[in-house]
């Protein structure tokens, strides 16, 4: 299989089913969810089903940031690190932010992404993306609205 072929329909549906379950489990009432975050989250779900693990991790912080900024902080000037510290209710948010930063910002003295790493560590990348997805869902549904 060529890496650009994407997953089989069976695998796509399995991943979609997993996402539906974590969303259904988290959504226990009425929530105020950012429109901007929702649009990003829709794309993030497609990336997850496609197996674009790096994209999922990178998108997760953007989704959480947009959501918390619009529904909790209502502040465009607060930095992302402070926003996450002040408004995210779950654990490991610093892990997720740091992982995302390692993916996005190249460190020439200690590169984290190399092609062999990408090819050889798909299961580890998937595990991180799954954790990022769960954390994102938790953020979207952490505070019931009116």
Task: Write the pLDDT tens digit of every residue in 63-99.
Answer: 999 999 988 888 888 888 888 988 898 889 999 999 9
For 78-90, give the secondary structure using H, E and C.
CCHHHHHHHHCCC
Tokens 């992404």 belong to 113
The string of pLDDT tens digits covering residues 90-141 is 889 999 999 999 999 988 888 888 777 778 888 999 999 999 999 999 999 8
Number of domains in the chain: 1
Q: Are 70 and 34 in contact (CB under 8 A)?
A: yes
pTM over 0.75: yes
Query: 15 in a domain, yes or no?
Result: yes
Range of the domain at 79: 9-140
Note whether residue 56 is domain-resident. Answer: yes
Residue 2 lies in a domain: no
């Amino acid at each position: 299989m060529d890496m650009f072929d994407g997953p089989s329909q069976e695998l796509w549906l399995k991943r979609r089913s997993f996402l539906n379950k974590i969303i259904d489990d988290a959504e226990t009432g009425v929530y105020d969810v950012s429109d901007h975050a929702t649009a990003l989250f829709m794309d993030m779900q497609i990336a997850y089903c496609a197996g674009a693990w790096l994209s999922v991790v990178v998108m997760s912080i953007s989704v959480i940031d947009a959501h918390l900024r619009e529904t909790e902080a209502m502040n465009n000037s607060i930095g992302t690190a402070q926003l996450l510290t002040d408004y995210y209710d779950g654990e490991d948010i610093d892990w997720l932010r740091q992982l995302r930063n390692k993916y996005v910002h190249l460190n020439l003295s200690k590169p984290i992404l190399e092609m062999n790493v990408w090819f050889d560590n798909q299961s580890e990348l998937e595990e991180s993306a799954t954790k990022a997805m769960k954390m994102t869902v938790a953020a979207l549904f952490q505070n019931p609205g009116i």
